[in-house]
Structure formats: structure tokens, C-alpha cells
Structure 1
Amino acid sequence: MKAVVLAAGEGTRLRPLTDEKPKGMVEVDGKPILTRCFEQLAELGADEFVVVVGYRKQDIISHYGDAFEGIPVTYAHQREQKGLAHALLTVEEHIDGDFMLMLGDNVFDANLGDVVKRQREDRADAAFLTEEVPYEEAGRYGVCATNDYGEITDVVEKPENPPSNLVMTGFYTFTPAIFHACHLVQPSNRGEYEISEAIDLLIQSGRTIDAIRMDGWRVDVGYPEDRKKAERLLNADEDADADDADPDDDATDDDTTADADSTEASAN
């Protein structure tokens, strides 16, 4: 399955971190966000990366070249940043089957594999990783309404009165049907071609879209403080892994000591 990564944005809210590099090349805990994206997508079985570039595109192209860890990398140029649906259309010629889509400014430690698995089951035309957030924050995102089967029945972009607190994250799977929907999207009040509108068109046409609840965490690195938050979470995960390993080591030592004591007692 191919993996599309959207990395064309200028990242104005991340300044000064993006004064001399694109948003995807901003490092989180010593590693560019895009590298983290590629690593996770490779683990999910990506056989080609199709990367949408724009702002300081040559920085990305020069850094990754035509392959990442043996997986081919293809680039598509979004000359103007007019929304995610607009960005997605730049890769249409490179996609001929189901594909993964990841926003190149997100850091995940979550169940992305569940989304890919659902897509491969052929029961859904698309599947999204979704997250429950406080209601007062939901209006910042694309908000989903679902039915009793966990299927998405409506998506509203940044609504004043959210229909739920379930929001889209930056990871999706689609069939090529999404491209036809993107062609039909009209500019929003923000002047952008919203992917939520394309998704809504899929729903209206009878397509099945499944919501996969996130198990884990993700950070949309939009501001400098978001980078710090992602680093804290990554380091907390590493510390937790170390803590999980330590008791086993202690147990092994205790067991060895216990065995030695038992042997000594038997000898006595």
C-alpha cells in the first residue's frame, strides 16, 4: 500500500523554527518529524512514499532523495497551499489503489495499524483514526458524528457547535474514490478546499467510512510548545519502557538469588 504524506505547509505558527526549514524538517527529540512519519509508515507496510512538498521543498528533496530505507520516494509539488483536498489532488496521478494518508506535522504513538487493517478488510471505503477531545476544544478540528456501528455519518470542519467531541487526527486510509470527491469540493469560507468536505461527499454518495478510536497519543506540531509536548511524551514513553524492563531484571536477580539460597540450604 502506498503512503501519501502531506508536507507542503509553511508552518508560520512554528516560527522561528521554520524560518529556514519546512515544517516537516523541524526536529522533535533529535529527529525530523517527516523521518518519524516515514518510519511509522514503513512499519505499516508502505511500499512507496508519495510526499506533497511546497515551502522550501528542496530541503526535503535533498534530505531524503529518491528512497528512504529502501522504499521509493516520489514528490508532488503543491504550488499554493489551498487546503488538504487541494494537496491531495497533486498526488492523484501517482495513486492506483488503496493508500494511507498522514499529515506530515503529526507525531504519533498510537494504533495506526488498526486503521490499515480495517481498510484491508474491504468492509470500508475509508478509515480514520479519531480522538475524543474536550467539547470546548472540538471546534478546532474536523468533528465526526458516528452511528451505532462506528461508521462516520457526518464531518464538519471547525464547527461553532460541534455535533460531538470525536475529531479526526492526521491519519487516514482511502480508496481512489477520494480524488473524485476532492475534484467536487468548493472553497470554504476560509478560501480552502477542505478534506472534510470531500469526506462528506463520500458519505453522501453511500461510501462506508469507519472511525477507529485512538489508543495512545498524537501531537499536531503547530506551535513551538507542541514540539516540547511531543518530546515530553516521547521521553515519558521511553522512561516507561525502561521502568517496565527494570522489574524483569530485578525479578531475574531475585530469582537467581533465591535459587542460590535454595541450593545453599539444600547443601546444608
Structure 2
Amino acid sequence: MTPVTKVVVMARGLGSRMRREASADLSPEQASAAAVGAKAMMPLGGRPFLDHVLTRLADAGLVDACLVIGPEHTAVRDYYENLPMSRLRVTFAEQAEPRGTADAVAAAENFAGCDRFVVVNGDNLYPTESVRALIAAPGSATVGYSRDGLLAHSNIPAERIAAFGLLGVRGAALIDLVEKPTPDAVAALQTRAGDPAYPLITMNCWLLEPSIFDACRRIGPSARGELEIVDAVRALVADGVEFTVVPSDEGVLDLSARGDVAAVSAALAGHEVNL
């Protein structure tokens, strides 16, 4: 297999939860970033959160990063265009409107070309080992994070985890994606997998082939009115495309709201940025 070197970072979101007023101990610089929903550029230890995200991706062996941003995100573009880097090459793809994660991935089609590529959220910091395992997988794949691992090693509370999408797995193959799962849906997925440790949780950490772009064009809006990458993946699975599920008991840091800033900042204390 050709080594995977490319990653698409979805950094276009509106940051609605981050903009929402909430009691949080933020510095003036952090409060300014929160006011405009600039999660990627949230200063933590003197560096934007996205610097930490990109460092972990570089640690995993990825060298070409495409940041999907909006036309208004000139600060992101200016920052990375003027930042000296030795391990990463950073380019940009513009998503004209925030139409969802599938639309964000589609914006990076020229960047991906004919190569397989990783896709991650710009407001999540993923563990290096799970990304390394992902890019070693054949074909298309995704990381499935265990609930226990996320509870033990991330800043995400149990009630938020309970609302995350689930991966239906048989053996090592993805067979279903369930969003907003009910207890009955969880039980059904455990039965189908034949393992009480399942189902695993999707944190939007994907290894995709170029066939995803056609799937992104084929799907319609979800119930939320957005074009969702999970629906594009579901369409490929229905077509017979096999997705390997790479299990992980590690944690993922989540910077979605003002209340997350302190915990993420503490978790990254001493984390060295190396781009």
C-alpha cells in the first residue's frame, strides 16, 4: 500500500457552543477567541489549539495537512502561512458555507487527488497511537473509541459521550453507524458484534479513499439540515465498500465549549508543539 501522508482537518465550524455565554475562567485572549467561536485558534499555553492538533498528527507520520476553513477565517490562513514549519506542509481548502462535514471533506478533493487521506475534526485532539494504527489499515477505515477509554482519558463528560454516534461492528468491519443512540440501539449493536465491549464510538477520525467524494455528492441533507460525512460513509458501506474499524481505548480531547478550555489546557500542560 502507498503510505498515507495526507490529512484533512475540518476547521470550518461556526463554533456555536463556544460562542454561547457560560461560566468559565478564561483569559482575555481566550475570551476573545470564544466570542467569535474560534476553537482552532483558542490560545492554550501560548499556542493555538490547532498547533497541538497538528503536532499530534505529525507525530503519527502525516506530513501534508489541508485545513478546511471559511472565507472569513483570514486569521487562520495568515497564521499558518507565516509560521515556520519543518515537519508539516499546510495548505487550505475553502468551504464557502458551513453546510456540514461531508461538504467540508468535498472541499478538499483537489488536495486529496487520487490518494487515501485522513480526516479529523479541528476541535478534537486525537492520540498519536490511534492515528498511527488508522493509517496502517487497508483501504478505508475509522477509529472506534471505547466509552471506558474516553471516560478515563479525555475531558468529555459521560452525558456528552452518551449522545455520540456509534459504530456497528462485525469482526473488524463497519456494518452500521447510529447517531443519537437509544439504549435499545446500543443493545442491538452489542448483540450484532457479539462482544459486550461494543459498540465503539465515532469521533470523526477517518481514513478515506477518493470514492468518498462521489458519496459526498450523492447524499442529501440530514435531519439537522447538513451534509454529514457519516451519511457519505454509510452510502459507501451500502455499496459494499469495506471499512475497517480500528479499536482504541485512548482518550480524545474535545474543545467544543468554554467549559472545556480549562480541562484541555491542563491536559496539554507541558505538551511541546513541533510543526
With normalisation by structure 1, the TM-score equals 0.78
Report how many aligned residue pairs link the two structures.
Answer: 231
For the pair shown, which has the larger CA radius of gyration, 1 or 2? Answer: 1
Question: Which has the larger strand fraction?
Answer: 1
In 1, Cα distance between equivalents of 2:159 and 2:69? 33
Q: Indicate how the Cα distance of structure 1 residues 213 and 68 shifts in structure 2: closer, same or farther if over 3 A, else same.
A: farther
Q: How far apart are residue 231 of structure 1 and its match?
A: 2.6
CA-atom RMSD in angstroms? 2.4
Query: Structure 1 residues 184-193 or 214-223, which shifts more?
Result: 214-223
Q: Residue 145 in 1 paired to residue 168 in 2? A: yes
Query: Structure 1 residues 24-33 or 171-180, which shifts more?
Result: 24-33
Q: Does the CA contact (< 8 Å) of 2:16 and 2:37 recur in 1?
A: no
Alignment-derived partner of residue 201 in structure 1 = 235
Q: Residue 22 in 1 paired to residue 22 in 2? A: no
SS state of the match for residue 232, structure 1?
A: helix
Q: Of residues 65, 68, 74 in structure 1, which corresponds to 2:91?
A: 74
Q: How far apart are residue 213 of structure 1 and its match?
A: 1.6
Q: Does the CA contact (< 8 Å) of 2:18 and 2:37 recur in 1?
A: no
In 2, Cα distance between equivalents of 1:4 and 1:90? 10
Q: Of residues 105, 124, 130 in structure 2, which corresponds to 1:88?
A: 105
In 2, Cα distance between equivalents of 1:30 and 1:215? 29
Higher relative contact order (CA closer than 8 Å, sequence separation 6+)? 2
SS state of the match for residue 25, structure 1?
A: coil
Q: Residue 158 in 1 paired to residue 180 in 2? A: yes
> Which string of whole-angstrom CA distances, capped at 9 and with x for unpartnered residues, describes residues 171-208 of structure 1?
22111111111111110111011111111111111111
Alignment-derived partner of residue 67 in structure 2 = 51
Alignment-derived partner of residue 204 in structure 2 = 170
> Which string of whole-angstrom CA distances, capped at 9 and with x for unpartnered residues, describes residues 212-233 of structure 1?
1223211221112222222333
In 1, Cα distance between equivalents of 2:61 and 2:96? 29
Unaligned residue ranges in structure 1 (runs of 5+): 239-268
Letter of the 1:217 counterpart: G
Q: How far apart are residue 139 of structure 1 and its match?
A: 5.1
Q: Indicate how the Cα distance of structure 1 residues 65 and 21 shifts in structure 2: closer, same or farther if over 3 A, else same.
A: farther
> Which string of whole-angstrom CA distances, capped at 9 and with x for unpartnered residues, describes residues 35-63 of structure 1?
11221222222232111001741010010
Q: Does the CA contact (< 8 Å) of 1:37 and 1:102 recur in 2?
A: no
In 2, Cα distance between equivalents of 1:136 and 1:38? 28
Unaligned residue ranges in structure 2 (runs of 5+): 20-30, 149-157, 190-198
Q: Does the CA contact (< 8 Å) of 1:10 and 1:23 recur in 2?
A: no
SS state of the match for residue 88, structure 1?
A: helix
Q: Residue 130 in 1 paired to residue 147 in 2? A: no
In 1, Cα distance between equivalents of 2:126 and 2:265? 11
Question: Which has the larger helix fraction?
Answer: 1
SS state of the match for residue 189, structure 1?
A: coil
Alignment-derived partner of residue 117 in structure 1 = 136
> Which string of whole-angstrom CA distances, capped at 9 and with x for unpartnered residues, describes residues 114-148 of structure 1?
11111xxx3xx31212112279655522211000x
